[in-house]
Structure 1
Amino acid sequence: MRNAVAVALLPALVLAGCATEGGEAPEAEGGPTTGPVVDVSGDLGALEERFDARVGVVAVDLQDGRRVEHRGDERFGYASTVKVFVAAALLDATDEVRRGERVEWSQADIDAAGYSPLTQESLDEGLTLDELAEAAVRESDNTATNLVLERLGGPAGLENALRSAGDEETSVDAVEPGINDVTPGEPANTTTPAAFAALLESIAKGDWLESADRERLFDWMSGNATGDPLIRAGAPEGWIVLDKSGGAGPRRGDVALVHPPGREPIVLVVLTERNDLSADYDDALVAEAAALVLGALD
């Protein structure tokens, strides 16, 4: 079920980890949250064996600093999960006036990019940069993603933005649909669960984006059209999940802020890869990994 009440809870998410009795929000301390590690590697290992896959997980509970890590420093293809950080980089680099500029594109752009539901529908009238970033997150629209990447200076521009945000691991090497191309043993178009978790945490804590930009990004994540069978499916009933999913071939992933009722959120990154690279990904693998991790932190 889609997060029908997520937008109403966005202010709480924006202030998560730093609210006071008077309702004010002091600045959160910079850097990643540290705390005791909750070990669920045995359960995740059994899940890997059952699905014949690798599972990379990093979760950070912003309530108390507890962490779950499994293959957190191993490389996985990120596919469309990176689009949430494409949008974040645009929000960081531009103001509302710049993002209000209308952008046009051609049918050839759509044909080259592949899956592009909103930009195909809006071919004649165009969209603003803001609407393109939203389409990249909500609809995983490939042409929208490429147009935003172009404004950032291409893959190299996005990688530079991620480096400035503290991510030294993610390798950005292509536009859509090439971001799905991963060669075993090569870093191109890959990241680590730890790197993506740190980026998402930096957004949640206000280290990367200003408050208004975070709220906008969280709104877009609340409507991710392809996230229902993934972390949302593994979260307990009543928990709000803001996420961006991605997948191609044997790889499937989801990056999320998971908000249990009445407490601060949990950053959760789940990236998976089937050992048989000719096999298709399985949504259930992500959902079950999320359920294990969230159950351990509940």
Structure 2
Amino acid sequence: MSGTTRRPPTRRTVLGLGLVALAAACAPARPEAGVTPSPTRAPTASPVPTTPPPLDLTVALADVEARHGVRLGLHALDTAQGRTVSHRADERFAFCSTVKPLAAAAVLASRGVGGLDEAVPVTADDLVTYSPVAETRVGVGMTWRELGDAAVRYSDNTAGNLLLRGAGGPEGLTAWLRGVGDDVTRSDRWEPDLNAFTPGDERDTSTPRALAGTYGALVVGEVLAPPERDVLTDWLVRNTTGDALVRAAARPGWTVGDKTGSGAYGTRNDVAVVWPGTPDGAAVVLAICTDQAVPDADTVDAPLAEAARVVLDGLVTARST
């Protein structure tokens, strides 16, 4: 276990009120707004910072939906000012492989960086479909660090299951999520079954608002201690599966950490933390989820990239207004 003391925030400060508290906590230090108190009078309290109104991009996002024939859910938070963008943000979508960083975070929280190099057996019975890394390690095993790297960066399903096992299985992960303030996301099954989404079935689902809130709390909040947070962030930034999604909307010089997912009904998701490279250093946390009306529909990347471009350009531009 890491020797660093963990300070998990309360549900209200992490996920409540649209992550306003998280935005304030993550903003770089800067002088307080207001007039410097006169030395001839008692200092007055600094004004309470006000959260700017949400950025209304409904028309543009509805256009993306209509042109691509998808249901698109999105929630974004600019931690610089607390400004948000939402579109179907409280509708449920299958989370698919975007759950893998959550399982990795639960393992990081329980084991700490110091426990990541312990070996974990990998057997033939553990193998499931799409396991490009774990299938080469049967009988050899992997460390917790290697499992996290394989699951988050390569979306290896066997590695994801072994992390989920380390988190106490679906029930254990759900309990951990409740403990860190996510009352919405629910884990019920293992890979690859968790991708078998049916409309109306709440198993293995979340909402864009909840996913953005939890990823934000993990990467730019204080749910994880700094050493564990840095490991998770590194895995997300070096992800290999998201080039056509939120990363495609990033401008040169921006840094993106993300995790993708796909499943039945053409489900295609990307949850990302984006550092636009502005002087304030603040991140934008963004969850985009899409699905379609046909069970065997092919996944499409373009609506996610287009929606991300609309939202990121809008939020970054709004910082200067």
Return closer, same or farther for 1:94/1:34 CA change in 2, 3 Å cut-off: farther
Match of 1:261 in 2: 277
Pick from 61, 81, 86: which aligns with 1:69? 86
- Take 1:277 and 1:68, find their aligned partners in 2: how far apart are those partners? 29
Tell me, yes or no, if the aligned pair for 1:61 and 1:266 is still in contact at 8 Å: yes
Task: Give TM-score scaled by structure 1 length.
Answer: 0.87
* Deviation of the 1:162 alpha carbon: 0.6
- AA partner of residue 305 (structure 2): A
Match of 2:161 in 1: 146
Match of 1:4 in 2: none
Match of 1:84 in 2: 101
Tell me, yes or no, if the aligned pair for 1:51 and 1:274 is still in contact at 8 Å: no
* Deviation of the 1:125 alpha carbon: 1.9
Match of 1:240 in 2: 255
Pick from 204, 217, 239: which aligns with 1:189? 204
Please list, as runs of the form range in 1=range in 2, the aligned pairs for 1:210-289 lying within 5 A after superposition: 210-249=225-264, 250-262=266-278, 263-289=281-307
Structure 2 gaps of 5+ residues are 1-24, 31-49, 317-321
- Take 1:129 and 1:143, find their aligned partners in 2: how far apart are those partners? 13
* Deviation of the 1:54 alpha carbon: 0.6
- AA partner of residue 251 (structure 1): T
- Take 1:201 and 1:97, find their aligned partners in 2: how far apart are those partners? 24
Match of 2:122 in 1: 105
Return closer, same or farther for 1:126/1:275 CA change in 2, 3 Å cut-off: same
Tell me, yes or no, if the aligned pair for 1:17 and 1:205 is still in contact at 8 Å: yes
Tell me, yes or no, if the aligned pair for 1:73 and 1:194 is still in contact at 8 Å: yes
- AA partner of residue 75 (structure 2): V
- Take 1:83 and 1:35, find their aligned partners in 2: how far apart are those partners? 33
* Deviation of the 1:205 alpha carbon: 3.5
Match of 2:26 in 1: 17
* Deviation of the 1:281 alpha carbon: 1.2
Return closer, same or farther for 1:104/1:216 CA change in 2, 3 Å cut-off: same
Number of residue pairs the alignment of both structures matches: 271
- Take 1:34 and 1:93, find their aligned partners in 2: how far apart are those partners? 34
* Deviation of the 1:34 alpha carbon: 5.4
* Deviation of the 1:182 alpha carbon: 1.3
SS at match of 1:117: coil
Q: Alignment RMSD, CA only?
A: 1.8
Match of 2:11 in 1: none
Match of 2:43 in 1: none
* Deviation of the 1:18 alpha carbon: 4.3
- Take 1:77 and 1:55, find their aligned partners in 2: how far apart are those partners? 12
State the structure with bigger RCO (CA 8 A, min sep 6), 1 or 2.
1
SS at match of 2:133: helix
- Take 1:265 and 1:237, find their aligned partners in 2: how far apart are those partners? 15
Return closer, same or farther for 1:235/1:275 CA change in 2, 3 Å cut-off: farther
- AA partner of residue 210 (structure 1): A
* Deviation of the 1:201 alpha carbon: 1.7
- Take 2:240 and 2:228, find their aligned partners in 1: how far apart are those partners? 21
Structure 1 gaps of 5+ residues are 1-15, 22-32
- AA partner of residue 147 (structure 2): L
- Take 2:54 and 2:29, find their aligned partners in 1: how far apart are those partners? 27
Which aligned runs of 4 or more in structure 1 are off by greater than 3 angstroms? 18-21
- Take 1:147 and 1:34, find their aligned partners in 2: how far apart are those partners? 41
* Deviation of the 1:109 alpha carbon: 1.6
What does the per-residue CA deviation read over 1:233-281, in whole Å, with 9 as the maximum and x for residues that have no partner? Answer: 0122221110011112310001111011133110010011113333111
* Deviation of the 1:173 alpha carbon: 0.7
Match of 2:186 in 1: 171
- Take 2:52 and 2:150, find their aligned partners in 1: how far apart are those partners? 36
1:132 and 2:147 equivalent?
yes
Match of 1:50 in 2: 67
Q: Percent identical across equivalent pairs?
A: 42
- AA partner of residue 276 (structure 2): P
* Deviation of the 1:98 alpha carbon: 3.0
- AA partner of residue 267 (structure 2): R
Match of 1:115 in 2: 130
SS at match of 2:26: coil
